[in-house]
């Protein structure tokens, strides 16, 4: 299969989550328009995405839910777990860790990092927290391939450089500092301040 576009990957993740969390075990089939209505998309887009991964429906019954989830699993998941580390165990880091624990069986948060002495060598949100100086050792021994950054801006570039040298493969950046990483590292950046300001702008427009 050719490499899928990032937006298609995002929608496939949404489809799977909807199918797993939103429907009872007794429900066996679902139509494209039902999926589309839940995630505010179009049935045509749903069908195009699923055709890209080689899955089609029985028109009279729609998509077989268990088969569709299994098909998306094969596309999105590795056979082995991918290990994840959270950098920065402030309120946001703890919230992300708490939320994500046991959400996806193939993605596992196995370590956290901080510099606060009160957070070192402790179990926080179910995960052991290490001093940032142990970054290279822990990433190597725990075979961590994905990093989630919830750091203060002033520390973000230095930690990112260390992650690149340690061989990390993907970074989810929650800080407000845009990052530059080598092409072989997949970077996803989410700026909550910008997102909230965008919402505020459109709310302001609707109130004029």
**Stretch 68-91: mean pLDDT:** 91
Rounded to an integer, what distance in angstroms lies between the CA atom of residue 93 and that of residue 116?
Answer: 13
pLDDT band with cut points at 50, 70 and 90 for residue 1: low
Is 79 or 66 the better-scoring residue by pLDDT? 66
Average pLDDT, the chain: 91
The one-character DSSP state at 5 is P
Q: Which domains does the chain have, with CATH numbers?
A: 6-76 (1.10.10.10), 82-194 (3.40.50.720)
Lowest mean pLDDT among 85-94, 96-105, 124-133, 137-146: 96-105
Q: Are 98 and 73 in contact (CB under 8 A)?
A: no
Q: Are 14 and 39 in contact (CB under 8 A)?
A: yes
Q: Are 50 and 82 in contact (CB under 8 A)?
A: no
pLDDT band with cut points at 50, 70 and 90 for residue 69: very high
Tens digit of each residue's pLDDT (9 = 90 or more) over 32-66: 999 999 999 999 999 999 999 988 776 678 899 99
Tens digit of each residue's pLDDT (9 = 90 or more) over 88-102: 999 999 999 998 876
Interhelix angle for 6-21 vs 43-52, to 10°?
A: 110
Q: Are 168 and 181 in contact (CB under 8 A)?
A: no
pTM here?
0.84
């Amino acid at each position: 299969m050719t490499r899928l576009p990032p937006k298609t990957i995002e929608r496939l993740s949404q489809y799977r989550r909807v199918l797993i969390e939103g429907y009872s075990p007794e429900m066996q089939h679902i139509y494209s328009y039902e999926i589309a209505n839940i995630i505010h998309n179009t049935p045509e887009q749903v069908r195009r995405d699923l055709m890209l991964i080689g899955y089609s429906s029985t028109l009279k019954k729609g998509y077989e839910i268990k088969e569709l989830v299994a098909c998306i699993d094969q596309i999105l998941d590795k056979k082995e777990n991918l290990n994840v580390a959270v950098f920065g165990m402030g309120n946001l880091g703890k919230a992300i860790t708490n939320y994500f624990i046991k959400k996806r069986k193939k993605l596992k948060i196995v370590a956290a990092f901080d510099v606060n002495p009160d957070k070192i060598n402790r179990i926080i949100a179910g995960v052991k927290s290490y001093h940032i100086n142990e970054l290279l050792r822990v990433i190597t021994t725990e075979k961590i391939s994905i990093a989630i950054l919830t750091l203060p801006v002033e520390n973000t570039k230095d930690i990112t450089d260390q992650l690149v040298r340690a061989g990390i493969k993907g970074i989810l950046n929650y800080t407000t500092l845009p990052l530059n990483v080598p092409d072989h590292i997949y970077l996803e950046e989410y700026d909550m301040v910008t997102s909230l300001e965008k919402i505020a702008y459109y709310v302001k427009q609707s109130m004029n």
